[in-house]
Amino acid sequence: MAFNSIAFALFYLAFFPLYWSVNRRASKNARNASVLLASYLFYGWWDWRFLGLIALSSATDFWIGLAMGRQHNPGHKKMLLLLSLAFNLGILGFFKYYNFFAESLQDLLGLFGWQLDWPTLHIILPVGISFYTFQTLSYTIDIYRGRLQPTRDPLSFFAFVAFFPQLVAGPIERAANLLPQFHARKAFQESEVVGGLRLVVWGMFKKVVIADNLGPIVDALYAGPESYGAIGVFIGALLFSFQIYCDFSGYSDIAIGVARTLGFRLSKNFETPYLAGSFREFWQRWHISLSTWFRDYVYIPLGGSRVPPARWKANTLITFVVSGLWHGAAFTFILWGFLHGFALLAERRSGREVRLPSWLLFLLVSLFWLPFRAEDLGQLGALAGQLGNPLAGWETCGQLLLELLSGTKVIWFGLVFAGFLWMEGRIDRSDFDRLIAAWQKPLRRAVYYLLILCILLLGNFANAPQFIYFQF
């Protein structure tokens, strides 16, 4: 059940009044039960078979959290933490990485003339598993570190893990932020509902108008790089930068907005990252909940920067390579993570952060998206091979644009895209809700109507394109 589907619109319109009715008249347990049931319905819409997996993950870490809370022996607490790590990473590794490592091992041994008949499996990746696994892991790790007390309320914990607005693609919430919100009684506040709906409309605009109209162009450019030359590869990289940003930040805006209408506050996940002036700042603004997760649970435990320079560099590269592998079981994602880690080290060679013009950083980040978007190393090689042919592709790229954005839609989309860029510049480190709330009411309403009109007239609802990060 994707946010950009009719099914979700009907689901939300039915759940919203029911939720607030239960919240007003019933107990905390009844409210959390309604959230949990709605979240399981939302998640089971994709494949009901994986409901057992998320329930098992929730039950395991709830029990481990309670056991660690009662344990005073440091060694026993460590064993419980290792059990949580083994269970969660074992499940994630099986579903997401089994075939990747099996095939890689066979290829590696084949280089030495050894044949290994290791079977690969037809495994369906449970949607959102990378996100809720990291969410429950942070819970047990924080209890082990003494930063969090385990909850004794299983209903609240299960609802925290499965909370439908952010279940599938984040933000990855820490228990310290979100779990207490399931214990507190909610008071209906019109201003919060209005603010949440603002974010929903803005996120939907970014998804169906910007990202989903750029998607077919990007797909065509990546599928046939030999037809479009270097200009096609370059344009494809630039357009994919906007596609993935609008797709993912659009999801985050909708998730945060829907949660606000239900009285919950989720973490901010994006702060106009393409306006950053360094790779370090970019990662402080892009997918904030994931980058801070890797900082707190991978980079710092490895020693962070408070170690000799050689080890600090290794820590940085390891963290980014693991981050790349988190995104997908492919060497292209590992390469993407390595490039960002190497760039972060390169800009700090002098001992201080090198600042770049935002437009130059955007171009570099866009080129780094090439391995991320490429389906495999073969396609990446084909894309890279065209970069030495800068004079080819101008005419065919123009024809492709006219075919996919036919007639006057090219002009209207261009105007709307320019308006989007202007709005992003105004938002910068703030957010859409806070910016618009400060405007006069007539202007605010004009913006609402204009965004809704753009969604209805320019939105690409063909086949209801999935959000890109659902595959991770």
The reported pLDDT for the residue numbered 111 is 55
pLDDT (average), residues 458-470: 75
- Residue 228, CB-side half-sphere exposure with 13 Å CA sphere: 24
Q: With bands split at pLDDT 50, 70 and 90, how would you rate the model's confidence at 57? A: very high
Burial, 290: exposed, middle or buried (Cβ in 10 Å; 0-12, 13-18, 19+)? buried
> Any idea of the CA torsion for 253, 254, 257, 263, to the nearest 10 degrees?
-130
pLDDT tens by residue, 184-232: 888 888 889 998 999 999 999 999 999 998 888 888 888 877 777 778 8
Any idea which residues carry the catalytic annotation?
Answer: 327
Q: With bands split at pLDDT 50, 70 and 90, how would you rate the model's confidence at 320? A: very high
3 state DSSP class of 183: helix
Q: 7-11, 201-205, 226-230, 319-323: lowest mean pLDDT where?
A: 226-230
Question: What does each C-alpha distance from 165 to 10, 180, 198, 291, 430 come to in angstroms?
Answer: 15, 17, 15, 20, 22
More confidently predicted of 431 and 391? 431
More confidently predicted of 310 and 39? 39
> Any idea of the CA torsion for 268, 272, 274, 278, to the nearest 10 degrees?
-70
More confidently predicted of 323 and 461? 323
Could you give the CA distance from residue 112 to residue 108 in angstroms, rounded to a whole number? 7
pLDDT over 60 at 449, yes or no = yes
**4, 465 Cβ separation under 8 angstroms:** yes
More confidently predicted of 112 and 62? 62
Q: With bands split at pLDDT 50, 70 and 90, how would you rate the model's confidence at 119? A: low
The reported pLDDT for the residue numbered 202 is 93
Amino acid at 397: C
Amino acid at 189: Q
The reported pLDDT for the residue numbered 415 is 86
Phi, psi of 230 (to 5 degrees): -65, -35
The gap between the terminal CA atoms of the chain, to the nearest Å, is 16
The reported pLDDT for the residue numbered 163 is 94
Range among 215-219, 292-296, 429-433 with highest mean pLDDT value = 292-296
Question: What does each C-alpha distance from 85 to 73, 138, 446, 471 come to in angstroms?
Answer: 19, 10, 50, 22
Average confidence score pLDDT of the chain: 85
Could you give the CA distance from residue 467 to residue 231 in angstroms, rounded to a whole number? 27
Query: Secondary structure of the chain: what % helix, strand, coil (to 5)?
Result: 75, 0, 25
Domain limits of the chain?
6-183, 190-272+388-471
User: Which ranges constitute the DSSP H helices of 189-330?
Assistant: 190-204, 212-223, 225-261, 279-285, 288-294, 300-302, 309-327
What global pTM score does this model have?
0.90
Tokens representing 38 are 């709605």
Range among 61-70, 117-126, 351-360, 411-420 with highest mean pLDDT value = 61-70
**413, 405 Cβ separation under 8 angstroms:** yes
pLDDT over 60 at 172, yes or no = yes
pLDDT tens by residue, 389-411: 666 655 666 666 666 666 556 77
Amino acid at 332: T
User: Which ranges constitute the DSSP H helices of 125-224?
Assistant: 129-144, 154-162, 164-167, 175-183, 190-204, 212-223
The reported pLDDT for the residue numbered 282 is 94
pLDDT (average), residues 71-93: 89
The reported pLDDT for the residue numbered 220 is 83
The reported pLDDT for the residue numbered 260 is 94
The reported pLDDT for the residue numbered 403 is 61
pLDDT over 60 at 428, yes or no = yes
The reported pLDDT for the residue numbered 56 is 92
pLDDT (average), residues 44-52: 84
Could you give the CA distance from residue 107 to residue 114 in angstroms, rounded to a whole number? 9
pLDDT (average), residues 8-19: 93
